[in-house]
Each structure stands twice: as C-alpha cells, then as structure tokens.
Amino acid sequence: DIQMTQSPSSLSASVGDRVTITCRASDTIKKYLNWYQQKPGKAPKLLIYQTSTLQTGVPSRFSGSGSGTDFTLTISSLQPEDFATYYCQQSYGLLYSFGQGTKVEIK
Amino acid sequence: EVQLVESGGGLVQPGGSLTLSCAATGFTFSSYALQWVRQAPGKGLKYVSAISTSGDKTYYAYSVEDRFIVSRDNSKNILFLQMDSLTAEDTAVYFCARVSPTYSLDRWGQGTLVAVSS
C-alpha cells in the first residue's frame, strides 16, 4: 500500500497569508496526486487533480506542484472561506489512499 | 446537475449488518467507476472500496475485505455497499464518490452515518 503523509497536521494563519501544505508518498505516484478541501459537516470538494490542474471553479489562488513522492498545495493569499481541512490523495495505486489532513485555522 | 445521494445508514449492534445505497442522477452512471470513502467522527478520510464501470472489478481496503461487498445496478443508477460483521471501528460517515477520467473523486454525496454500538 502507498502511504501518504501530510504536514503540518494543523496551522494557524491570517487572511492574506501565503499557506503551504506538503504531502509525501511512501513510493512514487508519478503525477497522480489530488487535493481536497473539506469544511465541517460537508463532503470533501476536489480542488486540484494530477498534481497541478485546478478543478473547474476553483480560485486561482490555489496551486499545486510536485512529482514522484513530494507534493505541495499552496494558497497564495488566504481568504476567509479557505479555513477548512485539506487532504491529499494518491490515485496511482489501486487503493486511493489519503493523507491524514491539514486543518487550516484562523490566527 | 450531478447528484449522489446516500441512504441506509443508522444505528446497528456489533456483529450486525447494514446495506448502504447511493443513488446517482445527472450523468451517465455506467460510464464511471465509483468509490466508497468513510470518515470516523473527528478523523480523516479513509478509502473503503471501489468498483469498475461494469461492476466486474471490485477493490477493498484491508480493514473491510471479507466483510464488505460493493456492487452496482447500472439499470437503476445505484451503488451499494453491503456491510457485515460490523464493529465499533466501522462507525463513520460513509460517502460515495464518482471517479473522474483523471483518477480523482470529482463528485461526492453528502454522506450517511453508520453507528455501531450496543
């Protein structure tokens, strides 16, 4: 199984801050890395697929990069609606495993 | 509009069984693979199971294989998850999700809560 490790597990930031979340795979997953945003009581929402492609409707302040085993989600200027939990997910192996999540809180 | 609506959750005793359903509308159901993902209270997302477009290929997390069975009815646009021998560790919100051609989960249902307790 491919294990996904996110860091940090939580962070505090202010509106307007640049935020970076990292995700590491236990084995190469090439470009097959997705990012999701989840707000309390809601279903996850796809933000970015295959490392860097924004899902339709996702603001351009979100970006993704990386390849192989190391990946990054960046929010260039944090907005009030971005306070949520973010999950990475690999879709290279048959079992699509998730990272443990990063909770982005208001400072 | 694409919609996935789960149902069938509830309170069940340890060792019991439950079958979840996920009704799909707004897209060609038979053209998409589907997955079940669960989230224990206050915890992260965990892959549970996946099924191919025709239903001939199924996949399971190690924690549920031999206890859960995923299936689909392409004539009725419904995804199922039959869950047997349930334990407290299976308590979670269960989401169904559509697998996009780019191997991401691009549409999700709202989730249904399964609580295993005596």
Q: What does the pLDDT look like over A66-81, one tens digit per residue? A: 999 999 999 999 999 9
Q: Which residue of B has its CA nearest to A86?
A: B44
Q: What is the mean pLDDT of residues B88-117?
A: 98
- Using an 8 Å CB-CB cutoff, list residues of chain A that contact chain B: 1, 32, 34, 36, 38, 42-46, 49-50, 53, 55, 87, 89, 91-92, 94-101
Contact (Cβ atoms closer than 8 angstroms) between residue B25 and residue B77: yes
Distance from CA of A91 to the nearest CA of B (A): 6
Cα–Cα distance for residue pair A5/A27, rounded to 1 Å: 11
Distance from CA of B108 to the nearest CA of A (A): 6
Q: What is the mean pLDDT of residues B107-112?
A: 98
Give pLDDT, residue B96. 98
Confidence of residue A55 (pLDDT cuts 50, 70, 90): very high
Q: CA nearest B10: which of B23, B25, B21, B26?
A: B21
Q: What is the mean pLDDT of residues B61-90?
A: 98
Pinpoint the alpha helices (H) of B1-118: none
Mean pLDDT of chain B: 98
Best probe of the A interface among B105, B106, B112, by most A CBs < 10 A, is B105
- What residues contact residue A74 under an 8 Å CB cut-off, 6+ apart? A18, A19, A20, A21, A62, A63, A64, A65
Cα–Cα distance for residue pair B111/B93, rounded to 1 Å: 6
B3 touching A (Cβ < 8 Å) = no
Cα–Cα distance for residue pair B66/B58, rounded to 1 Å: 12
Extended strands (E) in chain B: 3-7, 10-12, 18-25, 34-39, 45-51, 58-60, 68-73, 78-83, 92-99, 105-108, 112-116
DSSP A58-103: --TTEEEEEETTEEEEEESS--GGG-SEEEEEE-SSSS--B---EE
Where residue A31 falls (left for φ over 0; alpha for ψ -120 to 50; beta otherwise) is alpha
Contact check, Cβ <8 Å, A46/B106:
yes
Distance from CA of A70 to the nearest CA of B (A): 18
Give pLDDT, residue A95. 85
Contact (Cβ atoms closer than 8 angstroms) between residue A95 and residue B48: no
Cα–Cα distance for residue pair A50/A32, rounded to 1 Å: 5
Which of A46, A50, A98 shows the shortest C-beta gap to B45?
A98
pLDDT at A1 over 90: no
Partnered with residue B73 across adjacent β-strands are B78
Question: pLDDT digit string (tens) for B47-57?
Answer: 999 999 999 99
Distance from CA of B70 to the nearest CA of A (A): 14
